[in-house]
Chains A and B, each alone.
Chain A
Amino acid sequence: MSAPILRMEAVERHYESAGQRIRVLGPVDLELARGEFVAIMGPSGAGKSTLLGLAGALDRPDGGAVFLDGQKLWGLRGDELAALRRRKVGYVFQDLNLVEGLTALENTRLPLELDGLARRKADPVALAALERVGLGELAHRFPEELSGGERQRVAIARAFVGPRELLLADEPTGALDSLAGETVMRHLRTACDGGKSALLVTHDARHAAWADRVLHLVDGRFAHDNASVGGR
C-alpha cells in the first residue's frame, strides 16, 4: 500500500480566550489512505472544523505534525502553500465555494489555470471532471444560475480536477435539502471509488453512512474508531 495522502501525528490546537489557554483539539492521530472516504461527526464545538483547517494547512497546530502526501506542513511560504493547494488539496464548505464571476467550467478549471496550464489543455480535463459529477451540460452557467446542490457538485469537481486527489469538506450539504444532499454524497462516493480521497465533516448520519469510516470527535478527541464498511 502506498503512503497515506494525509497523516496527522499527535496534533493539538489551543485557543487563547479571556487570558486562558484552552485546548480545543487533540492530541489526535489520523491517517487517510488513498481512495479512502472518512466522515467525522460530533457535537457542535467539538473541534471538527479546527481539525479540518489543520489538515488543509489553513491553520497551524501547536503540537504534533501534519503530512500532506508525505510532505510535512511546516514553515512553508505563501507561494509554496499556494502551489500545494493548486495541486493536492481541495476544500468544500457549506457555502460560497465558487468564484461568482466565473462559469462552472472556469471554476473547475481554476486550479489548472492558476498552475499555468494552457486553456486548450485544461478545458477537456475540467469538462471531464464536471461530467463525472453530472454537470457537463451546465458547464457554461455562472454560479448564480445554479442550484445549491449543483454548486456543491461543481466544488467537488474542482477539488478532484486533474491530479488533485484530496477533498476536505466541512458540512458541504449543510445548506441543501436531503435529496440534493444525497446526490452530492453519491458523487463524492464515486470519486473515492475512483481513487480519490475525502475527509468529510457532517452532522447527518445518513450522509456519514456513505463513508468508509466514521470518526466521532468529542471535546477535541476521537471517541472511538469505527472501521465499518460504509453503505453504498
Chain B
Amino acid sequence: MGALRALLRVEWRNHRRHPWRTALLVVWLALPSAGLVAGWALVRTVPDDKREYIAARYGAADLLLSQVREPVFEAASTNWPADASYTRFDLGEEVLATNSGPRLVSTLAFEPGALEPKGLACGIAVVKRGRAPVGTGEVALSPSLLAAKRARLGHEVEWGGQRVRVSGVAVLPGDLRADLVVRELVRDAPLGERRVLVRYHPSFGRSWGQELQRRGIEWKDRRSGQGPHRQDRMESAVVLLVASFGFAVAALVVGAAVSVGLRRRQRDIALLTSLGTPRFLVARAALVSIVAVSLAAAVLGAGMGALGAALVHPVLPLVVGRLVGELEFRPLSFAAAPALAVVFSTIAAWPAILRASGLPPRVALGLARPLREVSGGVPWWPLGVAGAGAIAVFTSRPLVDGGTPGSIVFGSILGILGWASAAGGLLRLLGRGAGRWPLPLRLVARDAARAPLRNGAAAAAVLAGLSLAMLLSSLSGAVQRAAGEAGAGRDATLTLFLAGALGMGLAVVAAATALNAVEAGPDRRVLVLTGASPHTLRLVEGARAAYLALVGGVLSVPAGLLPTLGVLRLADVPLSFVMPWPELTFALLILPTVAFGLGMFVSFLLEPRRTHDRAPLLTPNP
C-alpha cells in the first residue's frame, strides 16, 4: 500500500507539474459529458409529451364537446347544476390577402376570461403579451401576422374589412410560428366549429353522457385522451451517438497525452522498477490517476451541462418553434457521463500504460535500443471491427414504432472505432511502402510509422470529427432534398460543426506533429550536416503535418459515409444520398494544405539563422 501511495504521489505531482496537459484532458472529457447531460435534458423537453398534447386540446377542462349546435346545447345544459362550469370556444379559418398571395389563418374565439390562468381554455392558446381581445373591435394576433401587417401591440389594423385594435400577441403552444388570430366569442355567430369545454361535476353521472349523445353532441373525456408517447427516443439516441463520438475523440487525446507523459518519464519508471517496484503497481498508479482525471472531468462536465441546459432552456422555444416543457434532467445521464468517460479513457490509456510499465529497464534507461516493431501488414482486426459496424448498420430494420434501432448507433460507433484503430496499421503499411516516394514524404511516412499508436490516434481524431461532419451534412442534405428545398442553402450549424471538426483536427495534428518533430531532432541534425537546404527542411516539417491530416481525412470518408447510407435506409420517407462536397473538400484538400503551410511556417520560425557569420546553433556532439 505504501508503494502505491508513493507512486500516486508521483502521479499527482506530475499533474501539478503539467497543469496544462491535465487541463487539456479534463476539457476534452468534460465536453462530451456536458453534451450528454444537456442534450438529454433538452431533447426531452422539445417534443410534446402527453400532458402538453392534452392541454392543447382540453385546456384545463375535463370534457370536450365538439360539433356543438347552440340550440341543442342549450337544451341539453338546462338540467345541469348551477355550479357546473363550462365555456364555449370556436375553431375556424380565415383567408388573409397578402402581397405574396392569400394566407390561411387559424381563428380561435373564446369567451371572456377563458384564457386567463384559471380559465378553462388556458393552454389551448397563450396570450404572450397584452391581453385577450374584448368585443368585436379587438383581436390578438400571432407574431407572424403582426409582422405581415407591419403592426405592433396597440396598433389598429385592417382586418376582415374593418379596423380593429391589436390587444395582444397570441400563440399556439405547439407551433409558435402558426398564423393565428384570437377573437372574442359571439354567442350567436359561431366562427367555424363550436366547441365547449366542461369541468366535470359529480352530479353528471353516467346518464349525462348518454343524454348528450342522444342529442347528437360528440364529447370526449380528458382521461381517455390519446396523447403521443414521448418522441425523444430518436433524439436521445443521436445525442448519445454524438456524445460517444466526443468521448472517442477525447479518448484518443487521452491516449496520446498519457503515452507522451509516460514516455517522458520512462527513465523514472525504469529506475523505480530496477529498484524493485513491481510493474503492476506502476500500471495501477497510472490507471488510478487517469480514472481520477476522467471522473473529475465528467463531474465537471455534467455540472457544465446542467448549467448550460438551464441557460439554453428559456430560449429553446425560439429555436424549435413551440413552447417547451419543464426542464427535466435524466438521472441516467449523470451516471452515464462518468461511466463513459472512465471507460473510454481507460481503454485509450491502457496500451500506453502497458508499454511504459513493461518496457525492459535497459531500454527505458536508454542503454539499449528498442527492438524494431515487426508487426503484421494489413490491420485486419480493426478493419474487421469496421466491417462488423457496417454490417450492423446495413442489416438493421426500423423498429415497429418507427424508432431507430440501437444497432445503427452502435454499428456507426463500431465503424468509427474500427477505422480509427486501422489508422495506426495503415501508417505502418504506408511507412513500409514509402521506398519510392520523394525524400520529405518518405521521411515523414517512416517517422510516423515508428509511433503508429500515437500517430494513428492523431489521424483518428481528424477522422472522427470529419466523418461526423460528413454524416450530418449528408443527412441534412438528403432531408433538404426530400423536402424540395434543395437550393435552401447550408445550415449554419453544419458549418459551425465543420469548423469545430477542422479546428480540433488541426490541434491534434499539431500536437502529434510537434512530438514527431521533437523525436526526429537527431535526424534533422544529420540532414543539416549532409547539406539539406533550409527549404528542404521546411518541406519535411510541412509534409510531417500534412501527412497525418491527409491520412485522417482519407479514412474519414468511409467512416462518415457508411453510417449515412445505413441511416438513409431506415428513414420513413425515401431519402437519396447526398455527397457532402464541402466536407470532402476540407478533409481531402484544405485541411492537409493548411497543415502543410503551418508545418512549413513553424519550421521557418524555429530555424536558426544559420549564416556563417553568426554564433553556432548546431553543436557537433549532442
Chain A residues near B (Cβ < 8 Å): 49, 52-53, 57-60, 73-79, 81-87, 90-91, 93-102, 106, 110-111, 113-115, 119, 142, 144-145, 158, 170
Contact = CB atoms under 8 A, between A and B. Distances in A.
A102 B443 contact: yes
Contact of B532 (A82, A97, A101): A82
Contact of B609 (A59, A78, A86): A78
A45 to B, nearest CB: 13
Nearest to B447: A101
Contacts of B372: 142, 144-145
Contacts of B611: 75-78, 81
Contacts of A86: 530-531
A94 B528 CA distance: 17
A111 B523 contact: no
A53 B534 contact: no
Given A79-B533, A100-B520, 5 more contacts: A60-B613, A81-B611, A93-B621, A96-B525, A113-B439
Most buried by A among B443, B520, B530, B532: B530
Among all A-B residue pairs, the 6 with the closest Cβ atoms: A86-B531, A101-B446, A85-B531, A82-B533, A59-B616, A99-B523
26 contacts: A58-B616, A73-B612, A74-B612, A76-B611, A77-B611, A78-B609, A78-B610, A78-B611, A81-B610, A82-B534, A83-B533, A85-B530, A85-B531, A87-B531, A98-B526, A99-B443, A99-B526, A99-B527, A100-B450, A100-B522, A101-B447, A106-B442, A110-B527, A114-B530, A114-B532, A115-B531
Contact of A81 (B442, B443, B525, B612): B612
A144 B369 contact: yes
A160 B439 CA distance: 20
B144 interface: no
Contacts of A91: 529, 620
Contacts of B447: 101
Interface in B443-457: 443, 446-447, 450
Given A114-B536, A144-B372, A53 B620 contact: yes
Contacts of B621: 49, 93-94, 170
By CB atoms of chain B within 10 A, which of A77, A82, A94 has the most? Answer: A82
Contacts of A94: 621
Contacts of A95: 622
Interface residues of B, number: 36
B367 to A, nearest CB: 12
Interface in B512-560: 520, 522-523, 525-536
Given A114-B536, A144-B369, A144-B372, A82 B620 contact: no
Interface string B592-622: 0000000000000000011111111010111
Contacts, number: 105
A96 B616 contact: no
B525 A75 contact: no
Contact of B616 (A53, A76, A110, A111): A53
B612 to A, nearest CB: 5
B612 A75 contact: yes
A97 B622 CA distance: 11
A111 B530 contact: yes
Interface of B: 369, 372, 436, 439, 442-443, 446-447, 450, 520, 522-523, 525-536, 609-616, 618, 620-622
A111 B536 CA distance: 12
Contacts of B609: 78
Nearest to B431: A101
B450 A114 contact: no
A204 B613 CA distance: 34
Contact of A114 (B533, B610, B615): B533
Contacts of A77: 611
A78 B530 contact: no
A74 B612 CA distance: 6
Given A78-B534, A113-B439, A101 B610 contact: no
Contacts of B531: 82-87, 111, 114-115
B525 A114 contact: no
B533 A101 contact: no
A73 to B, nearest CB: 6
Contacts of A60: 612-616
Contacts of B439: 110, 113-114
A65 B609 CA distance: 21
A16 to B, nearest CB: 10
B530 A52 contact: no
A62 B555 CA distance: 55
Contacts of B614: 60
A113 B525 CA distance: 17
A88 to B, nearest CB: 9
Which interface residue of A57, A58, A79, A83 has the most chain B CB atoms within 10 A? A58
